[in-house]
Structure 1
Amino acid sequence: MLKRWIAVSAAAMLLVSGCSKEKAEEPAKQEPEKAEEATKGVSAEKELPFQYPLTGFGSETEVDGRAVAVMINNHPKARPQSGLNQADVVYEMLAEGDVTRFLAIFQSERPEMIGPVRSSRDYYIELAKGYDSLYIAHGYSPEAKELLDQGYVDNLNGMQYDGTLFKRESFRKAPHNSYISYDNVLKGAKEKNYAMENEPRSLEFLSEEEIKTIQGEKADSAMISYLDNELFNVIYEYDAGLEKYKRYSNGELTADYKSGEPALLDNIFIAEADHQVVDSAGRRDINLTSGGKGYLLQKGKVTEVQWENIDGRILPVLNGQQAGLVPGKTWINIVPSNPGLEQTVSFEAEN
């Protein structure tokens, strides 16, 4: 199916929503068996007494620990990234021009290496605050710097810790080579006396019985075209054997740089929001408060929903109620709703 997506233009696809170059380094080839290895023990997980708040997965021991939200570079020269596959929740949004960036939120797992870390934007800071996260970035827009200087969120920034908490890796060139380890996140938090004990509020998750009754149109794959720039095309493919989604950027599997383990996802949420360009650098203001139309992909089906900002989190709403998530990892794509921005979201079902 992936080859079919690549072979045709977005205009020729089944258009569900019209909500609207630089050459990349060739990423390391990924081993197919990594997907199967990454899911061992997940589907057969026994009922456990505790639960991770952002994945809904069970735990034998009591769960605690503050969420950590990291700005991760998505420029083609920054791929494949490190640590993305271990994030509980990832937001993907336009940062400037037609370039997207990730906000990766970690709580249930602690990656050895995270990055490349990139600069902050004010709307990413707002999302990080919704999870009471310690916010990690390297650099900032003027609006973001103002918020950070005010102490709006607890944060560590590579502009102050370049070469100490943040390391420059030799296998990448600046500005695509800033990385941080989870140990250094905790070290920095201790230096700044940030509390790291309390876990975030839990997301809403479906029970096993509710998962069996998920409704929607069959959709084995989805494609998002950001401003008609194929370098940032996103494809999600549902693997019925794994019962999870795999993600591709410009045709390349999203997987960890070192381990090759793919990001295996249980919920894909696409939300349309108003975007406005605010300066000559192409930076944007994104309306994350008004709500709007969205699409929720779960278990190979897609449902048209609404989105709302609920206590700082962009979440799906169906029939006036917050839609439950399948336990697991969640990726959220915020896409422009403005007319004329050539934004497309398309779905395809196998025969």
Structure 2
Amino acid sequence: MNKKRLFVACFVALILMLSACSSKETSKPSDDAASKDTGIEKKEVDDKPRFAYTFPLTGKGTDEALASRAVAVMVNNAPEARPQSGLHKADIVYEVLAEGKITRLLAVFQSEEPDVIGPVRSARDYYVRLSNGFDAIYIHHGWSPSAKSMLTSGNIDSLNGLYYDGTLFKRANFRKAPHNSYITYENILKESEKKKFELQQEIPAFSFLKEDEVTAIEGDPASTVTVSYGDHYKVHYRYQSKKGTYLRYVNNEQTVDRETEIPIELENVLVVGANHQVIDSAGRRNINLESGGDAILFQQGKSQEINWKHEKGRIIPVKDGAEVPFVPGKTWVNLVPASDLGPNVSWE
């Protein structure tokens, strides 16, 4: 072969090789095509964490298979007792009138355990009934006659500061009695174990919204909410749109944890109207927690006028006969006399 023919042959071979390479690149299947060819569906990467379990009282996810029993603590809410300790770790708090225009708090803990809780105050029978809705270990310091009858029946696991004053319950020197009784979570668990209280328990869960349902909540604007019990107990909630939570204030002073100054932040505020009746000269009350009635639920800066029902010892929000789910997170329940639901509760 002469040089001219050799050159032509090499040139043709080079063209054919380049053409083949180009053909392979243009015919390479896309990711989507490859997925179709293999029958494997392509999925976008989801960076959001997925949890194996859910806390029953907050709807928040966890990877630990926790079945800790709930603990319910009677917390003093007098002006002399503020700021309190441990409330920022409560899953749900019930604020209810005691005598006169004084409210006390029943703080229910399950997903988190604060170091210290207090000041601890005395029991009333309706607080005990609220605690029983969770089959919680009930912590109190003193009692009314009707609460004493319930708590000494042998059917309720409880710890009373009257019998542990200075031992399990400590008196703080920065406050005066009866506003200075505190207990640690460690002491609650130690004495509960000593008394052979059940400490592991499956707890029925509240109903919670899914993420896309939270953003779809409808209702009237409610960026500020006011619940008035009296001159020293004017409660305000202020909505934070960036976090989707309400901050709590009493007489314009923010509710924070005494030790850490962590604020109370709530995904749900439920205001419940229930019939109240004064039953003795001391001003003690009977509160109807069974008959149901009107309620207002505040979530995501919006209000829903709904109802409530009594179900297995708990107050459950309902609308048109169906349970209204909570936003995953913490909840504060304000019980007010049914007649006060209109004049003493407002929002805008």
Return the TM-score normalized by structure 1: 0.84
Paired residues of 1:275 and 1:338 also in contact (CA < 8 A): no
* Helix, strand or coil at the partner of 1:172: coil
C-alpha offsets along residues 112-139 of structure 1, whole Å, 9 cap, x if unaligned? 0000000000001011010010000000
Q: Provide the residue aligned with 2:283 in structure 1.
A: 282
Structure 2: how far apart are the matches of 1:69 and 1:308? 21
Structure 2: how far apart are the matches of 1:55 and 1:87? 10
1:112 aligns with 2:115: yes
1:344 aligns with 2:344: yes
- Return the offset for 1:209: 1.5
C-alpha offsets along residues 197-229 of structure 1, whole Å, 9 cap, x if unaligned? 114211111101211211111110110111xx2
Letter in 2 for 1:192: K
Q: Provide the residue aligned with 2:16 in structure 1.
A: none
- Return the offset for 1:45: 6.4
Are residues 264 and 285 of structure 1, via their aligned partners in 2, closer, same or farther at CA, if it must alter by over 3 Å?
A: same
Letter in 1 for 2:65: E
Structure 1: how far apart are the matches of 2:219 and 2:65? 35
Paired residues of 1:52 and 1:59 also in contact (CA < 8 A): yes
- Return the offset for 1:152: 3.2
**Rg comparison, structure with higher value:** 2
Q: Provide the residue aligned with 2:323 in structure 1.
A: 322
* Helix, strand or coil at the partner of 2:188: helix
Structure 1: how far apart are the matches of 2:258 and 2:280? 34
- Return the offset for 1:47: 2.1
Q: Provide the residue aligned with 2:299 in structure 1.
A: 298
Q: Provide the residue aligned with 1:203 in structure 2.
A: 206
1:65 aligns with 2:45: no
* Helix, strand or coil at the partner of 2:213: helix
* Helix, strand or coil at the partner of 2:98: strand
Q: Provide the residue aligned with 2:90 in structure 1.
A: 87
1:96 aligns with 2:99: yes
Letter in 2 for 1:256: D
C-alpha offsets along residues 79-121 of structure 1, whole Å, 9 cap, x if unaligned? 0000001100000000111100000000011000000000000
Superposed CA RMSD: 1.4
Are residues 252 and 109 of structure 1, via their aligned partners in 2, closer, same or farther at CA, if it must alter by over 3 Å?
A: same
- Return the offset for 1:151: 2.1
Structure 2: how far apart are the matches of 1:197 and 1:96? 35
Structure 1: how far apart are the matches of 2:293 and 2:326? 19
Q: Provide the residue aligned with 1:173 in structure 2.
A: 176
Structure 2: how far apart are the matches of 1:240 and 1:131? 31
Segments of 5+ residues of structure 2 without an aligned counterpart are 1-46
Q: Following superposition of structure 1 onto structure 2, how do residues 1-351 of structure 1 map, counting pairs within 5 Å?
A: 46-226=49-229, 229-338=230-339, 344-348=344-348
Segments of 5+ residues of structure 1 without an aligned counterpart are 1-43
Letter in 1 for 2:208: F
Structure 2: how far apart are the matches of 1:342 and 1:100? 19
Q: Provide the residue aligned with 1:31 in structure 2.
A: none
- Return the offset for 1:230: 2.2
Letter in 1 for 2:237: Y
Say which structure, 1 or 2, has more relative contact order (CA 8 Å, 6+ apart): 1
Structure 2: how far apart are the matches of 1:107 and 1:137? 17
Return the TM-score normalized by structure 2: 0.85
Letter in 2 for 1:232: Y
Paired residues of 1:236 and 1:245 also in contact (CA < 8 A): yes
Structure 2: how far apart are the matches of 1:46 and 1:170? 44
Are residues 174 and 126 of structure 1, via their aligned partners in 2, closer, same or farther at CA, if it must alter by over 3 Å?
A: same
Structure 2: how far apart are the matches of 1:343 and 1:179? 36
Structure 1: how far apart are the matches of 2:259 and 2:237? 22
Identity %: 51
Are residues 182 and 241 of structure 1, via their aligned partners in 2, closer, same or farther at CA, if it must alter by over 3 Å?
A: same
Structure 2: how far apart are the matches of 1:56 and 1:336? 29
Q: Provide the residue aligned with 1:21 in structure 2.
A: none
Structure 2: how far apart are the matches of 1:45 and 1:164? 46
- Return the offset for 1:342: 9.2
Return structure 1 stretches of 4+ with deviation > 6 angstroms: none
Structure 2: how far apart are the matches of 1:178 and 1:54? 27
Structure 2: how far apart are the matches of 1:336 and 1:246? 23
